[in-house]
Amino acid sequence: MLIASFFWALRHPLGKIIVKTVHPFQLGTGTLVTGFFGLLVFLVITGRIKAIKKIPLKDILLSLGLGVFGFFLYQVFVFSALERITSSMNAVLISVNVVFISILSYIILKEKIKIAGIIGIILAFIGVVLVTFNNGFSDVEGFNIIDIPGVVFSLLAALSFALYSVLGKKILKRNDPLIVTAISLFSGTTLLAIFTAGTVGYSGLFSSGWYNLLLIAILGLTVTAIAYPLWFTCLKNLPASHVSIYIYITPVFAVIISLVVLKEFFSWLFWVGSALIIAGIIITNRFSSAAPGSIDRDLKKDSANR
């Protein structure tokens, strides 16, 4: 989850650079196409592509549906937000998906979180706010203005990812997470490619220069081809509410990368926020009522029923 969180953090500062010359839809399509073929090559080389024959038709259709939330809508919303708000603000708003995941896990998966776990989530969220807004709430030009559409796009991205994670967990109890990811990625990539072609086209993407194309390829391979399989693998073996708390580390990584890439500097609040995030992770994982082993018991129960 630490590796996945770091790669997801790349999306914010690098995406902010790319959307200056590339349309968000083009950026989303480019990263998904690169990520899909990167994952496909891995599955072919390792021989795991054959496992798709073992997946029931119902689960294949459900996996295709997951691609609408986890890849198509998520890419549209997250990069549309980056076009309007700062990368730091986008990172903290998308972290709200942890709250959405906990709520949806309680409703759909019947996972319960004790009071201590809720306190951990709140602690971590406060840390995220301190880290991402440690230089104040004004944007890079110094104007204290919040772009409402940009904020809405970020929150919709958070909700899309939460639906993708919680609904995907039920499918993962029976199937290979890499195959489920590949199927979902295929449907999301196809939908976004068609949507982009019918709206803004691709001329601007191919004329944006080799530097932007290289950054898009890097994002596709790390954010999609590597991070999502890692996320689903963790999600298969742990309760969704446990795994989701690690998303709070993503804004920390995003700020560090912004420090290096965008030459941003941060106050002491960054370090305080980082400590709160780590504390929130420890508390939530230590005191949440659902134990990691419960997933193994669910898998054994499913196997016995079949």
Distance CA 128, CA 275 (A): 10
In a domain, 26, yes or no: yes
Vertex 250: Cα angle to 248 and 255 (nearest 5): 115
In a domain, 152, yes or no: yes
Q: How many residues does the chain have?
A: 306
Residue 121 maps to a domain: no
pLDDT at 146 (0 to 100): 56
Range of the domain at 101: 2-112+148-251
Contact 161, 69 (CB under 8 A): yes
pLDDT given at position 293: 37
Which residues are CB-neighbours of 157 under 8 A, at least 6 positions away? Answer: 73, 74, 77, 78, 81, 94, 97
Report the 3 state secondary structure along the chain: CHHHHHHHHHHHHHHHHHCCCCCHHHHHHHHHHHHHHHHHHHHHHHCHHHHHHHCCHHHHHHHHHHHHHHHHHHHHHHHHHHCCCCHHHHHHHHCCHHHHHHHHHHHHHCCCCCHHHHHHHHHHHHHHHHHHCCCCCCCCCCCCCCCHHHHHHHHHHHHHHHHHHHHHHHHHCCCCHHHHHHHHHHHHHHHHHHHHHHHCCCHHHHCCCHHHHHHHHHHHHHHHHHHHHHHHHHHHHCCHHHHHHHHHHHHHHHHHHHHHHCCCCCCCHHHHHHHHHHHHHHHHHHHCCCCCHHHHHHHHHHHHHC
Residue type, 178: L
Number of domains composing the chain = 1
Please tell me the predicted confidence (pLDDT) of residue 241. Answer: 66
In a domain, 278, yes or no: no
Whole-model pTM: value is 0.77
Per-residue pLDDT of the chain (306 residues; tens, 9 = 90+): 889 889 988 888 889 899 989 999 999 999 999 999 999 998 998 888 888 888 999 999 999 999 999 999 999 999 999 888 778 778 877 877 777 887 788 788 777 777 877 888 888 788 777 766 665 544 444 444 556 788 889 889 989 988 998 888 878 778 888 898 899 999 999 999 999 999 999 988 888 888 899 999 999 999 888 887 787 778 777 776 677 677 677 877 887 887 787 776 667 777 787 788 778 777 766 665 443 333 333 433 443 333
pLDDT value of position 298: 44
pLDDT score at 290: 42
- Cα separation of 82 and 89, whole Å? 9
- CB hemisphere CA count around 165 (13 angstroms): 31
CA 292 – CA 290 distance, rounded (Å): 7
Can you tell me the distance from the alpha carbon of 47 to that of 189, in angstroms, rounded to the nearest whole number? 23
Does residue 199 form part of some domain? yes
* 180 and 232 Cβ atoms separated by less than 8 Å: yes
* Cα angle value 176/179/183 (rounded, 5°): 140
Burial tier of 49 (Cβ tally within 10 Å: 0-12, 13-18, 19+): middle
CA 120 centroid distance within chain: 20
Asked whether residue 200 is assigned to any structural domain, the reply reads yes
Residue 279 within a domain: no
Whether 302 maps to a domain, the answer reads no
